[in-house]
Structure 1
Amino acid sequence: MDFLPEIIGETVILGLDTLILGFCMRQLSKCKHILNGLQTAPVLDIDSTLNKEINKYPNNVIPYVVIRGLVKPLGTPITSNYNHSVTGVVQRLTIKEHVIARTSAGFWSDQTRTIHEVCNCTPFVLNSGKYSIEVVDALAAELLDMDVISDKFEPMSPGVIDHVWGFFSGVRQRGLQTMEEMLRDGSYITAIGELSKSNSGALKIQPPKDGLPLYLTTATKSTLLKRLTSSRDFLRILVVVFGVVAAAASCRIAYKYLKRRKRRVLEECMRKQLAVGRRERRAIARDHNLTDLQLCVVCTENPKEVILLPCGHVCLCEDCSDNIADTCPICRERIESRAPAFIT
């Protein structure tokens, strides 16, 4: 534990770096998985050949497929709240609060916080002529491209009291932003997901079951592949950078540990050398014409030089005292302390 204060900085850096590195590696693995799935996903048209293609796969399920078509609602579409001439199948209403907040450094910065969000969805299909595919659970799509129908910002007019309160609280209100987004009826989009055929022959595209995402986007397959490739390359750079930092921190900790270990080995060697020197000097200075009562009860060669406390027995030489740390060899009482004794 006495080594921890020496490496506290490196330990904190290594811990944070390991967390970030783990997150980056997880995202990189996910990105590679999606990229591999998208590269092998077939691009199919919504026509008469679609049933033949799906029959080639087990259980009439294509794990990952790319299909483009026109959005068409099944039933009554959703009407825009701000433009009644616009209809769609997916609607997102968002209210955001814009504030100017004081940071811990004392500066003021613009910040945005979502205070309310509502999503509405109606069943719809991707249509091409007389053929169609139903889209299941569109709100679960990882990428859902929608058009902005309305984006209004209502600024606030704070008074003197609001300015004073904002100065002390560190938050000043700027206003509210209300946004409406919709996946319009008639939009031409790309759906990427799992394609299956029910017992009745109806075709459905839905979120895949193997961890791949559902995409409902206006982008093409090649555009998505470029985005994912760019993300993969960026994550690789992050993994390399944080991996180098982790390796450097680990090497620094290992260097300090080895340096400390080497220092302790040298100190131990010096201590042993000093102990040997003291024993040699004691041996030279000792009187060798002693009676049996004056000899150490352990080695019976050196004179009694140490008193054991609390029992008070003088029975050991200094050399033997270094090797006996628990109990007195005479009475077996626990040794709490010891002191030099002089016998004349």
Structure 2
Amino acid sequence: MTSTLSAQVPSDLSVAASSENLNVTGFQPLVTPRTLKSELPITPKAHETVARSRQAIKNILDGTDARLLVIIGPCSIHDEAQALEYAGRLMRLRHEYQSRMEIVMRVYPDKPRTTVGWRGYLNDPGMNGQNDFNLGLHKTRELMLKLNELGMPVATELLDPFVPQYIDDQLAWGAIGARTTESQTHRAMVSGVSAPVGFKNGTGGSVKLAVDAILSARKPHTFLGITDEGQAAVVSTRGNAYGHIILRGGTSGPNYSAEHVEAASEMLRAAKLDPAIIVDASHHNSGYLHQRQLDGWHDVIGQRVAGNTALRGLMVESNLVEGKQSIPADLSELKYGVSVTDACVGWDTTAEMLAWGYEQLG
């Protein structure tokens, strides 16, 4: 007797041809990492910038360099000219304050979204929904190369596990965001990244997620990735010894107070990790109000001056002009120097913050 279930299964074998890629609308060949790197090879000056800043950051995280790591710049990159103008201004302050700060520019071309929205310069460089990844990869690497040639080290968030193959040689520092710190894929990816990488606490505020991520990324991993030739491959890593925590607040509010920092430090010590903490003055630590980044900036530097050596760095979202704007249908209506994602402090405030911090750290 034939069961009801088996009777419902079509006997036509052609059903196999229609059981996959049902929601896929197309495939586009992707430029290989080797091709992109051959078109935009790293220069001696850029290599020197990357190597020197990476080592400085490692020394800060190790506690052998007493300077403060400052990762500062736009919430997201959407225009090369504006990014280069910002970098030119920041370079002057990087030189002026280098005795007490290692200033690195935020260059975030790939943006996570809570639901939907513009995914960033790397994914959609035209800001028109065409999602030209090949162009985005080219423009992202080109911008990072120009910045490193200026002598401005680059910091970015790593979202797509394939992307490090295209830009790893350009990075002084990397971050894993609150949404992906718990991801095993990203923890394994970080184990092979050449630069120090910070893990943010979870969106709910859990610091243990970041501690677990650091422990995981320190170990060797084997995972699926791509080679420089763009071939799918099994990637094996040795582990990244320079993972660290980024406190960015959570749904219950900020977490940069002395009590929060001590709790995070104790959690790191319990895991047999050196307390090395960076505070993100934005996101939940500012309640997404850009001017409140100053509260975190002043508080953390005050803690440093009072002797809290676990605090190794600060992050700030800053742009040429304060605030944020929506992306208009007519891109000619975009305001120059204003963020298209999270609101940022403007340049005058940025310069004042850095000058005040330098003075306090003396």
Report TM bin, short chain.
Answer: under 0.3
Say which structure, 1 or 2, has more relative contact order (CA 8 Å, 6+ apart). Answer: 1
TM-score by length of 1: 0.19
Higher strand share: 1
TM-score by length of 2: 0.19
